Amino acid sequence: MADQKSSVVEETFRFGPFALFRGSRVLIREGQKVRIGGRALDILIALVEKSGEVVSKEDLITTAWPHTFVDESNLRVHIAALRKLLGEGFGGDPSLVNVAGRGYLFTPAVDRSLVAEMPPPALASAPAAPDKVHRLIGRDEIVQSIAAQVGRHRLITIAGPGGVGKTSVALAASALVEERSRPHCFVDLASISSPDLLPSAIAGALDVAVLTRDPVSNLVAFLADKSLLLVLDNCEHLVDAVAALVELLMPRVPGIAFLLTSREPLRANAELVVRLQPLEVPGADVVLDAASAVGYPAIRLFVERATSSSDSFEFGDGEVASVAEICRRLDGLPLAIELIAARVDLFGIRALATDLSARLMLGARGERGAQPRQQSIRAALDWSHNLLSPVEKLIFRRLSVFRGLFSLESAVEVIADAAVTTDEVLDAMDILTAKSLVGTDTGGARLLYRLLHVTRIYGGEKLTESAETELMARRHARHFRDLLTTAEAQWETLTRQQWLDVHGYVIEDVRAALDWAFGASGDLEIGAQLITASLPFGFQLSLMDEFKVRAERALTLLDTGHSAVSRLRLITALIQFALGSAVDEATLQALFDRFDSLSVDVSETKFKIEPLLARAIYLIERGENDAALDEVVRIGHSAREAADPLGVLATERIEAQAQFFVGNFPQARATAERVIRHPARTIPLLYSSTTVDRQITMRIIIARALWIEGHVDQGIDLMAQTMDMAYRDGPLPITFALAMGACPIALWSGDRVAAQRYTDELLTYSRRYTLERWERLGEGFAATLDRIDTPPRNDHGLGLSIAEPVSELHRMQLATIDAHYLNDALAAQAEQGLCGWCNSEILRLCGERALQRGGAGARETAQRYFESAIAAATKQGALSWQLRATISLAMLWQGQHRAAAAGAVLKATLARFSEGFGTTDLMRARALLDQLEP
């Protein structure tokens, strides 16, 4: 038997202070053994053997990982470790040089010889430690959480769709674990095609020699006394085998923790599943500048990658909208964002945002060294799609017909047929969700599903290949037509917010269904039913501009052969859209003429109530208040004759407004209170698709009436409560309440702080939701706040800087707070008693204007106006207007040395007030009275 201590003749490489014994795989530095991992040693040997020559990265990877596919990042980690171990070259130059595009070069001179020495015994290999190529963005919190969980959970699976960054997060978390407690070993299972090869692949990554036919026993023997984090990447295609192996190993290797990445969980015992979500992106309605935009991880990732790939790319405020749109369309998927950001230099940022085609999204190529499934989004999705059964593939591609969130019931209704049963759809939804091809949304009133945008595009391609696109589009449109019909019926049983919570999610699919129905291969009959049923969504979701265009197009395409009711409802919607904008009167009158012509073909009163009430509102806007009230009374009579109590309720809602604008304040309050107390939860959409909740509109009427009647504090308090209700409702109610209640009452009261705040809010909401009519009124309020103490600048009332109000109602409202808005036409109306609710105040302004103009008889003319204003206010019970007119008269008399008479009339009016003493009018009156009664 040979002496075990005898010398061993083997090939040795010497370079600087190092000696490398090839056969025994030992590295010596100045007589001391150097601890080096097995793969690092393989790489070093390959480089040293070809010292002075470039060794390709591919050859080095094949040498160190002969049976396992690994990412190039693994090689870079070991090269970095070797550089650290070897230090600087022995002549001052680097020991290892990266030759761009070719590989690595070992630079020190090497002395190769056969020697007979006793090398130190070989060391056990250190575990492989892959590295991430790029800095992680937006993942710090989840990386920290996973690293902390490793100490409490031995089996953690990071699950999520392809391209979401599971591997990068796992690498970052494992590196953090290694810093804190235990080393890790990374194993990429992507290239392992057979479950039988799984144990051997893990053993190979650990440098465990498999000496028996049972590699698991070798793994157990090696790991039994180790403390290690084993990272298994890309487990989805071996999920059952991985689950079985991990469950087998865990009780036998107590020091080993497992961190896995997979597109679906293992469903193993004691598994903690961490669902990795896409990066956060800003909503479409969020206004950002460049500095705040990079606070969103998706945008920050895009900017960093675009900057690194293009020297010309600069991210400023002008690029924010385009980058945000790209990130939204890519659903915040890191891989997709990186791939598209790298194309900025080829296409330009704005072109990418406006024309982000399916080919570009799915086919953009990644870095040359990336794994095949990460070279493009299409490759990543192909990987997942190939793991599906034929039935699952069919259901997946059919699901691509959905554009937004959808319910399980909708999926079954649209997809199930003779080719696939309901049970198969239900089972597949669970499987596709588990595999991260379908996402879930649990933030609303019910569980909903969605496909990521790029996943849906991929599924749509598969649907086209199957020749089922037309079939699915028709089913989809019919389904959402029926769903909208149900939603309209449920409006009467739910609050507005409840209704939006239950049904609002369908808007994206409604859009898609409308696009198909009115498209080249669509169905106009389905389209007619869809558009009429969808219009309430346009109003309630503040999408007026979009649905106005859709309604106009639909009305153009629907001829006399289609339902008269559908066309009538489209005209009604267009009337409502026009009333909400700054449309010219000719356009609006033309719509009413079309309604009158078509309504003769519709016998049912219920389809005519809304447009008739809209005409009454139009008359109020024109300042024809008496005509408006007459119109409403006629409509109410028709509703009562038709025994339609909800039609009567809808009519009384407008009647309360008409009564107010006529100047019948007690009647307006009484009607409004009756409408508020009505037991119906809501007014049917058929009667008022645009309606702001009647609880808000009626309180605005009451608050305005109370203020004008002299119950000033009550009016202010009620309006504050009403704003609280509006803030809990939505953009349209908020805008309406600000424009018609909060702003004017604050301005009437002289509360500059509240008026400024409310006006700023009004402009913000009206501009964000393109409510031009209310924006113009808000601009009038804003201009008034700028010049509230400035008298009219010329004899004609309006200054050149005054924007023309969109209606007579708005002119009247603005005139009550700013005399600049008084013109001759409005003065003439007031002299005829046609300004209704503000007739007294307009007459007073006429008197003030007469004084300002001066000339012969100016004071007599002014006094006549002031006395007429007081008489009109007294008749209406408009105590606040009466006080203003009395102040004007008292000041006139004061200048005529009639202080006693002035004081008497002012004192009598002031005595009728029991509140509001902190408002500008009452403080002004009190100060004037003190002057008149020294």
Q: Residue by residue, what is the 3-state secondary structure of 388-437?
A: CCHHHHHHHHHHCCCCCCECHHHHHHHHCECCECHHHHHHHHHHHHHCCC
| Type of residue found at 273 | V
What mean pLDDT do residues 732-757 have?
96
| Type of residue found at 517 | A
Q: Is 623 left (phi over 0), alpha (psi -120 to 50) or beta?
A: left
Q: pLDDT at position 665, please?
A: 98
Give me the chain's average pLDDT, please: 85
Q: Of 744 and 772, which is predicted with more confidence? A: 744
The SS3 call for residue 205 is helix
What mean pLDDT do residues 160-184 have?
86
In the block, which residue shows the tokens 């500048």? 289
pLDDT tier at 795, thresholds 50, 70, 90 = very low
Q: Of 559 and 242, which is predicted with more confidence? A: 242
Ramachandran angles phi, psi of 738, nearest 5°: -65, -45
Q: Which fold has domain 388-467?
A: Arc Repressor Mutant, subunit A (1.10.10)
Q: How far apart are CA 258 and CA 107, in angstroms?
A: 39
Cα-based distances in Å from 615 to 593, 596, 842: 11, 11, 25
CATH architecture assignment, domain 832-934: Alpha Horseshoe (1.25)
pLDDT tier at 354, thresholds 50, 70, 90 = low
At residue 370, does pLDDT exceed 60? Answer: no
Q: pLDDT at position 478, please?
A: 95
At residue 501, does pLDDT exceed 60? Answer: yes
What mean pLDDT do residues 714-739 have?
94
pLDDT tier at 674, thresholds 50, 70, 90 = very high
Q: How far apart are CA 424 and CA 13, in angstroms?
A: 65
In the block, which residue shows the tokens 């039994």? 224
Q: pLDDT at position 773, please?
A: 87
Q: How far apart are CA 576 and CA 611, in angstroms?
A: 8
Distance of CA 291 to the CA centre of its chain: 19
CB atoms within 10 A of CB 569: 23
Mark 890-902 as b/e (b = at least 16 C-beta within 10 Å): bbbbbeeebbeeb
Q: pLDDT at position 6, please?
A: 39
Q: How far apart are CA 703 and CA 107, in angstroms?
A: 88
Q: pLDDT at position 129, please?
A: 41
Q: How far apart are CA 849 and CA 851, in angstroms?
A: 5
CATH number of 8-117: 1.10.10.10
What mean pLDDT do residues 707-714 have?
98
Q: How far apart are CA 412 and CA 390, in angstroms?
A: 18
Q: How far apart are CA 702 and CA 675, in angstroms?
A: 11
Q: pLDDT at position 627, please?
A: 95
At residue 662, does pLDDT exceed 90? Answer: yes
pLDDT tier at 128, thresholds 50, 70, 90 = very low
Please report which residue ranges of 709-834 form alpha helices under DSSP H: 712-727, 731-737, 743-749, 752-768, 772-787, 808-815, 824-831
Lowest mean per-residue pLDDT among 59-63, 586-590, 601-605, 858-862: 601-605
Percentage of residues in the chain having pLDDT higher than 90: 41
Q: pLDDT at position 210, please?
A: 59
Q: pLDDT at position 211, please?
A: 55
Q: How far apart are CA 501 and CA 767, in angstroms?
A: 25
Q: pLDDT at position 19, please?
A: 86
CATH number of 140-275: 3.40.50.300
Ramachandran angles phi, psi of 833, nearest 5°: 75, 30
Residue 813 contacts residue 836 (beta carbons within 8 Å): no
Nearest to 879 by CA among 843, 849, 921, 924: 921
Q: 736: number of CA atoms within 13 Å, CB side?
A: 24
CB atoms within 10 A of CB 486: 10
Q: pLDDT at position 675, please?
A: 96
At residue 476, does pLDDT exceed 90? Answer: yes
Q: What is the DSSP letter of 373?
A: G
Q: How far apart are CA 696 and CA 687, in angstroms?
A: 17
Q: Domain-by-domain residue ranges, the chain?
A: 8-117, 140-275, 290-380, 388-467, 469-580, 832-934
Q: What is the pLDDT of residues 64-86, one digit of tens each?
A: 877 556 667 667 767 877 887 88
Residue 143 contacts residue 172 (beta carbons within 8 Å): yes
Quick one: three-class SS letters along 665-715?
Answer: HHHHHHHHHHHHHCCCCCCCCCCCCCCCCHHHHHHHHHHHHHHHCCCHHHH
Q: Which two tokens stand for residue 684?
A: 């049917």
Query: 736: exposed, middle or buried (C-beta count within 10 Å: 0-12, 13-18, 19+)?
Result: buried
- The shares of helix, strand and coil residues in the chain, as percent rounded to the nearest 5, are 60, 10, 30
26-29 and 32-33 strand pairing: antiparallel
Q: Which two tokens stand for residue 60?
A: 């080095």
What mean pLDDT do residues 150-176 have?
89
Cα-based distances in Å from 551 to 511, 569, 725: 12, 9, 31
Q: What is the pLDDT of residues 806-843, one digit of tens each?
A: 899 999 999 999 999 999 999 999 999 999 999 999 99
At residue 130, does pLDDT exceed 80? Answer: no
What mean pLDDT do residues 371-400 have?
81
Q: How far apart are CA 800 and CA 730, in angstroms?
A: 36
Q: Of 392 and 70, which is predicted with more confidence? A: 392
Q: Which two tokens stand for residue 317?
A: 């405020």
pLDDT tier at 411, thresholds 50, 70, 90 = very high
What mean pLDDT do residues 642-665 have?
94
Q: Is 207 left (phi over 0), alpha (psi -120 to 50) or beta?
A: left
**106 beta partners:** 96
Q: Which two tokens stand for residue 839?
A: 């007739």
Lowest mean per-residue pLDDT among 156-170, 198-212, 670-684: 198-212
Q: pLDDT at position 368, please?
A: 43
Q: What is the pLDDT of residues 131-141, one digit of tens each?
A: 444 568 889 89
The structure's pTM equals 0.67
Query: 61: exposed, middle or buried (C-beta count within 10 Å: 0-12, 13-18, 19+)?
Result: buried
Q: How far apart are CA 136 and CA 173, in angstroms?
A: 11
Percentage of residues in the chain having pLDDT higher than 70: 88
At residue 244, does pLDDT exceed 90? Answer: yes
Q: Do domains 8-117 and 388-467 have the same CATH topology?
A: yes
Residue 712 contacts residue 749 (beta carbons within 8 Å): yes
Q: How far apart are CA 13 and CA 17, in angstroms?
A: 11
Q: How far apart are CA 866 and CA 844, in angstroms?
A: 5
Q: How far apart are CA 758 and CA 761, in angstroms?
A: 5
Q: pLDDT at position 620, please?
A: 93
Q: pLDDT at position 212, please?
A: 58
Lowest mean per-residue pLDDT among 169-173, 607-611, 653-657: 607-611
At residue 782, does pLDDT exceed 60? Answer: yes
At residue 395, does pLDDT exceed 60? Answer: yes
CB atoms within 10 A of CB 341: 27
**Consecutive H or E run containing 111:** strand 111-117
